[in-house]
């Protein structure tokens, strides 16, 4: 094991902004990527994989700016096994105080067939590209994609080549979530014992959740000798997702008696970043999700509630405060003042200036007039629903909806578009359909609705509804989200929010720009 980290510490490599964003529909805006990177940096993530610089001009710019703003974390960029990718990656990260080039190639028989390379040709390519990366950057990570389905002898051969070429971290990806914990531990252990030079590098694990074992496989790899876990916030990622950062970090913290390793993560910041990633990605966290799900610290059974009242340790193996929850959800009301709201926001992980507090307080009062009690989740939804509204070109001013059993629904929508007030009325199969049609009359577009999702924020008939809308237009995808006690109003604002994001992306791309991103299958 290399002396570059303590033997009992596990490095956390977060790839929310790269592998996580590959999840269909989970694309984030430029500013959102910078914000999430800042939160990751602040919570103690060791390495942030900020993106795939050659994929698009936007990805390059995001990685470059994240590299410039990082304070604590090492900033990593991804590159395929070719010189152009590696050079582009280096250009994006070279000005970071701490940087890393991560280059990869698929080594299993299935993946070798994609570029149609023989074993010897691929071995030569690995030596050439890792050497080139090491000549640019002193910190290089190499990954044999689909390692868990690569022939053992060949895997050992290419890992040895990468180490000799200068890779300081060898990542072993379970790209398709195929392996099981006992195999994961054994694979890392055997590589460390078998490959010459393995003692001088850090072995990493990158697991997907196709069989629901990503967290178990990652922890097993650590038991086998890996000292870096690649993961994402909320387990975001392709198909069934990646290893969830919050799960491995809290597992190591809670069960340190049998897993004697630690991380540098400030676990009290987990809930805040989980909520933020859910909002900007448009991927809501399932209620029963471990650590960060809404029900993770909820107890409804009478037996459980009685046990909790007598001693929380009866049914809770960790404290809510350990992951950034208040432990209780004490409501505010219409008589609460600015000081109480600011205190609540600070408790929920939001630091707001005076001007932002003034705006949030106005919307809080409007909500409190409609709801008897305003709970923590209402406050969180309120914070997210009002973001960047003043800068949007499209804004909903007012709505009037008529619906029932007697005929088609009718929606009249007044909007402000580039400073001008406009109004349209449309009919549809229900109030939401009619409202979306009215908005399309006011702002004609070809965007296709990929997702429409409604989720109650709290309980009761006066609960806020959080609506998520995902739109696709000319290869660009944008997600909008809004919360309101009126589901139709929330739907309209979420739809308009997504349209505003599409406008911003089109403006940044420029006229006639190719907005499509390079596929990982375009290996040359």
Angle between helices 152-165 and 119-136 (to 10 degrees): 30
d(CA 270, CA 288): 16
pLDDT of residue 168: 98
Q: Are 44 and 50 in contact (CB under 8 A)?
A: no
Q: Are 190 and 182 in contact (CB under 8 A)?
A: no
pLDDT of residue 84: 97
Q: Are 9 and 17 in contact (CB under 8 A)?
A: no
Using the structure block, give the residue that is written with the tokens 């290419």: 158
Average model confidence (pLDDT) for the chain?
88
Residue 448: its H or E element: strand 448-456
Domain limits, the chain: 11-281, 302-385, 391-509
Residues 6+ apart with CB under 8 A from 431: 401, 403, 409, 411, 488
Per DSSP, 230 falls in state: E
Per DSSP, 519 falls in state: P
Helix (H, G, I), strand (E, B) or coil at 415: strand
Q: Are 333 and 374 in contact (CB under 8 A)?
A: yes
Using the structure block, give the residue that is written with the tokens 């890992």: 159
Q: Are 17 and 236 in contact (CB under 8 A)?
A: no
pLDDT digits (tens, 9 = 90+) for 366-406: 888 877 677 777 887 777 665 555 568 899 999 999 998 87
Question: What is the architecture of the domain spanning 11-281?
Answer: Alpha-Beta Barrel (3.20)
Q: Tell me if 11-281 shares its fold with 302-385.
A: no
Beta-bridge partner residues of 245:
none
Q: Strands of 476-484's sheet, edge to edge? A: 448-456, 465-473, 476-484
b/e map 183-212, b = 16+ CB within 10 Å = bbbebbbbbbeebeebeebbbbbbbbbbee
pLDDT digits (tens, 9 = 90+) for 135-190: 999 999 999 999 999 999 999 999 999 999 999 999 999 999 999 999 999 999 99
Q: Strands of 420-428's sheet, edge to edge? A: 394-402, 409-417, 420-428
For domain 302-385, is the CATH number 1.10.238?
Answer: yes
Using the structure block, give the residue that is written with the tokens 């596990």: 10
pLDDT of residue 352: 82
For domain 391-509, is the CATH number 3.30.1330.30?
Answer: no
Per DSSP, 173 falls in state: E
Residues at the binding site for Mn(2+) are 19, 206, 208, 242
pLDDT digits (tens, 9 = 90+) for 204-233: 999 999 999 999 999 999 999 999 999 999
d(CA 89, CA 83): 10
pLDDT of residue 137: 98
Using the structure block, give the residue that is written with the tokens 């999700």: 289
Q: Which two tokens stand for residue 94?
A: 């070279």
3-state secondary structure 98-162: CEEEEEEEECCHHHHCCCCCCHHHHHHHHHHHHHHHHHHCCCEEEEEECHHHCCHHHHHHHHHHH
- CA torsion sign for 193, 198, 201, 203 is negative
User: Which residue ranges in the chain fall short of pLDDT 70?
Assistant: 1-5, 24-25, 298-315, 326-331, 372, 384-391, 508-524
Using the structure block, give the residue that is written with the tokens 């900007």: 280
Residues at the binding site are 19, 206, 208, 242
Residues 6+ apart with CB under 8 A from 76: 13, 47, 48, 49, 50, 93, 99, 100, 101, 102, 141
């Amino acid at each position: 094991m290399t002396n570059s980290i303590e033997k009992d510490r596990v490095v956390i490599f977060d790839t929310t902004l790269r592998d996580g964003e590959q999840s269909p529909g989970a694309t984030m805006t430029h500013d959102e990527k910078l914000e999430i990177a800042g939160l990751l940096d602040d919570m103690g993530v060791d390495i942030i994989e900020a993106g795939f610089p050659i994929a698009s001009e936007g990805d390059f710019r995001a990685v470059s700016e994240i590299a410039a703003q990082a304070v604590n974390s090492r900033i990593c960029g991804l590159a395929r096994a070719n010189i152009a990718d590696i050079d582009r990656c280096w250009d994006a990260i070279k000005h970071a105080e701490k940087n890393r080039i991560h280059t990869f190639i698929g080594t299993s028989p299935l993946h070798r067939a994609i570029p149609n390379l023989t074993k010897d040709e691929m071995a030569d390519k690995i030596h050439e590209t890792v050497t080139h990366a090491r000549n640019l950057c002193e910190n290089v990570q190499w990954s044999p994609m689909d390692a868990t389905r690569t022939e053992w002898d060949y895997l050992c051969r290419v890992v040895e080549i990468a180490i000799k070429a200068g890779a300081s971290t060898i990542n072993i990806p379970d790209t398709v979530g195929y392996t099981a914990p006992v195999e994961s531990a054994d694979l890392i252990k055997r590589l460390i014992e078998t490959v010459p030079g393995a003692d001088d590098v850090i072995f990493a694990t990158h697991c997907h959740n196709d069989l629901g074992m990503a967290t178990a496989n990652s922890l097993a790899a650590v038991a086998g000798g890996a000292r870096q876990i690649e993961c994402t916030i909320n387990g975001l990622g392709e198909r069934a997702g990646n290893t969830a950062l919050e799960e491995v970090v809290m597992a190591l913290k809670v069960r340190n008696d049998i897993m004697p390793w630690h991380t540098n993560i400030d676990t009290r910041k987990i809930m805040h970043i989980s909520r933020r990633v859910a909002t900007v990605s448009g991927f809501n966290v399932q209620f029963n999700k471990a650590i960060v799900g809404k029900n993770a610290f909820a107890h409804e059974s009478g037996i459980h509630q009685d046990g909790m009242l007598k001693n929380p340790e009866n049914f809770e193996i960790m404290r809510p405060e350990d992951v950034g929850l208040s432990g209780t959800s004490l409501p505010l009301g219409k008589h609460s003042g600015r000081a109480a709201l600011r205190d609540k926001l600070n408790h929920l992980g939001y630091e707001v200036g005076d001007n932002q507090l003034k705006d949030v307080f106005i919307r809080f009062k409007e909500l409190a007039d409609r709801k008897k009690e305003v709970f923590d989740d209402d406050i969180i939804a309120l914070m997210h629903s009002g973001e960047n509204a003043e800068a949007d070109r499209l804004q909903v001013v007012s709505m009037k909806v008529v619906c029932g059993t007697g005929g088609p629904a009718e929606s009249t929508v007044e909007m402000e578009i580039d400073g001008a007030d406009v109004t349209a009325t449309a009919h549809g199969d229900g109030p939401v359909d009619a409202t979306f049609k009215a908005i399309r009359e006011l702002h004609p577009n070809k965007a296709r609705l990929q997702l429409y999702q409604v989720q109650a924020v709290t309980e009761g008939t006066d609960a806020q509804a959080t609506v998520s809308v995902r739109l696709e237009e000319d290869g660009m995808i944008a997600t909008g989200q809004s919360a309101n006690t009126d589901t139709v109003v929330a739907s309209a604002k979420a739809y308009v929010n997504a349209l505003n994001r599409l406008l911003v992306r089109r403006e940044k791309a420029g006229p006639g720009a190719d907005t499509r991103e390079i596929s990982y299958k375009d290996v040359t």
